[in-house]
Chains A and B, each alone.
Chain A
Amino acid sequence: MPAVSMPIAMSELIVRLQQESPIPMDAELRCTGGQLLALVGPSGSGKTTLLRALAGLVQPRHGYISCSGETWFDSAAGHYLPARKRRVGYVPQHFALFPHLDVLHNVMSGMLHRAPETRVAAAHDLLERVNLAGLESRKPGQLSGGQQQRVAVARALAREPQVLLLDEPFSAVDHATRERLYGELAMLKQSLSMPLVMVTHDLREAMLLADEMCVLHRGRTLQTDKPLELVARPVSADVARLVGIRNIYHGEIAGHAPEHECTQLRFGSIVLKTPYRPELVPGSRVQWVIPSDGVVFHRRDRPSHTERENQLQGIVDTVHKLGEITRLAVRMEDEDRSLLWLDVPSHLARRNEIAEGVTATVSLTVAAIHIIDSTS
């Protein structure tokens, strides 16, 4: 991609990479300074390979990478900067601290661009910033997982990077530490002006921390958007599946009702009200999705019905108790006898005596229904 065709903002990472082998890649990303972009996707989707390509640890066949106006890779121009010449802060999955060096020297390892006499003081400052003051002389093996992660972040920041790359930064720590580190990363992010790219397979993590989320599958970036937007409006059934949506169905556009600001969707014998989308052609076959939190379960003793819902009845097919949550699959009365998945609090499931085979009433929230426009 030629540099001139892309307007470059300050502190912006611009990526377009393509290759067929050894690992397929077809990725397009942008991330501005101070923003955290989460790369999500299942194992083997190419997240780490893409991150390593950004770091300069692998050279893709074709494409373009620039950061803060500096071109790091441009296959058309035959230009490639190796990792050591890029100002990249890289936090690998298992932190990759240098085991023979103490904490202070691990951090100082990232300061080779600085004058030697300034390194010690700068490393102390960074360690204070990540709440590790006092642990300077410890070796990595003497630190907890959370402390190791903070050293790795400090070492990455010591490079004064133009982009901070985090590869599954929370996967090697226990649950309690992880929850604490989420807060710390969110705080740290506010003080950083460079783009941050984080690889994770944990959707919840991405939803919590990311400003933008990019879904990757088999090396391809399928959709990049704000996390809530992406989950609410996936561009394809693949994206919907990858962000954990199980309620994916086929239907037909029945028509539009502008006066009620809704588009009607035929689903078997039922017509559902959905958000108004006048661009959808009546009669066209479409796929539609609804996240499980867009499905409301009706209490037996207090059924409700509002304009903003599509009420349906079905038979409970599956009941999975998962701690405080009970996951239900309700078999609907459309032609395909599709399953509708929803989560209800376990106490509610108990109180309503929900069991396999009983009749259940559910509502599909109009605003939560998303019709995938295959023409876009």
Chain B
Amino acid sequence: MDWQALRLSLLLAVATTVLLLPVGVFAGRWMAESNFRGKILLEAAIATPLVLPPTVIGYYLLVGMGAHSPVGVWFTELFGRSLVFSFSGLLIASVLVNLPFAIQPAQRAFESIPQDVRDAAQCCGMTFWRSLWAIDLPLAWPGVLTGLTLSFAHTLGEFGVVLMVGGAIPGETKTVSIAIYDQVQSLNFEGAGSMSLLLLLISLGLLVFANVLGRYAGRLHAYRNV
């Protein structure tokens, strides 16, 4: 068992989830409420990581964040080190790849709040922030949490993007999925097996949790329409 890789994966998953929490909430709410020209295009762009091969996403991120890219140059000037093949680069890639997992369930959850409930909140004198905190989030939290759970689980298991953007630097970019690949390459099936089993159990547990949340959200929605 490569504990260092597991620790790094968990750290990456937690950091990704924490960064995606405000993104999921605000982007999800904004997408749910807004109706603008180009919305379909934006929704498609956000969903792209779901259908694109991870190596393709990884390639674009590698090029986009590489030492000669504007972002890469800016990062190097600011921090004195390269963005790619670093934990920071991996975190940015992870956040971008997980956008659809975080935003889509949150968007659906905010969309399920009836317009007249939002209207009533405004007529009660609620500001944007109070309405978000007191009405929208309590009603949409199962969706938001489902999104974050999926992002967490997906980050733990991500392989292609991690390999392209991060490589396999122990303690920096070598996550558990890369470690499993390494173990198989070196014919250590016992080590690969134990890590795979652990990932399987964690993912299964998280998906069960996400499903339970989804059902709760469904009940909440039915309850709302009494």
Contacts and interface: CB of A to CB of B under 8 A. Distances in A.
Given A96-B114, A140-B226, A141-B223, A90 B120 contact: yes
Nearest to B226: A141
A180 B114 CA distance: 28
Interface in A78-114: 82-86, 88-90, 92-94, 96-100, 109-110, 112-113
Contact of B127 (A52, A84, A86, A94): A84
Given A112-B125, A112-B126, A92 B223 contact: no
Contacts of A82: 122
Nearest to B137: A100
B123 A90 contact: yes
Interface in B83-129: 114, 116-117, 119-127
A55 interface: yes
User: For chain B, which range describes its interface: under 10, 10 to 19, 20 to 34, or 35 or more residues?
Assistant: 20 to 34
Interface in A124-144: 139-141
A354 to B, nearest CB: 46
Interface in B195-226: 220, 223-224, 226
B125 A96 contact: no
Nearest to B139: A100
Contact of A96 (B120, B130, B134, B220): B120
B120 A113 contact: no
Given A92-B116, A92-B120, A94-B114, A99 B126 contact: no
B38 interface: no
B119 A112 contact: no
A57 interface: yes
Nearest to B114: A96
B135 A98 contact: yes
A155 interface: yes
Contacts of B121: 98, 109
A139 B219 CA distance: 14
Interface string B121-150: 111111100100011001100000000000
Given A96-B117, A99-B139, A112 B224 contact: no
A109 B134 contact: yes
Given A96-B116, A99-B224, A83 B135 contact: no
Contact of B138 (A84, A88, A89, A100): A100
B133 to A, nearest CB: 12
A110 to B, nearest CB: 5
A98 B117 contact: yes
A109 B119 contact: no
Contacts of A139: 223
Contact of A90 (B119, B127, B130, B220): B119
A84 B116 contact: no
Given A94-B116, A99-B224, A83 B122 contact: yes
Interface of B: 114, 116-117, 119-127, 130, 134-135, 138-139, 220, 223-224, 226
23 contacts: A55-B123, A57-B122, A57-B123, A83-B119, A86-B123, A89-B123, A93-B116, A94-B114, A94-B116, A98-B117, A98-B120, A99-B139, A99-B223, A99-B224, A100-B139, A109-B124, A112-B124, A113-B125, A139-B223, A141-B224, A141-B226, A159-B123, A159-B125
Given A90-B119, A109-B126, 19 more contacts: A55-B123, A57-B122, A83-B123, A84-B123, A84-B124, A92-B119, A93-B116, A96-B114, A96-B116, A96-B117, A96-B119, A99-B117, A100-B138, A112-B124, A141-B223, A141-B226, A156-B123, A158-B124, A159-B124
What 10 pairs across the A-B complex have the smallest Cβ distances? A96-B116, A90-B123, A92-B116, A83-B122, A96-B120, A99-B224, A141-B226, A112-B125, A100-B138, A141-B223
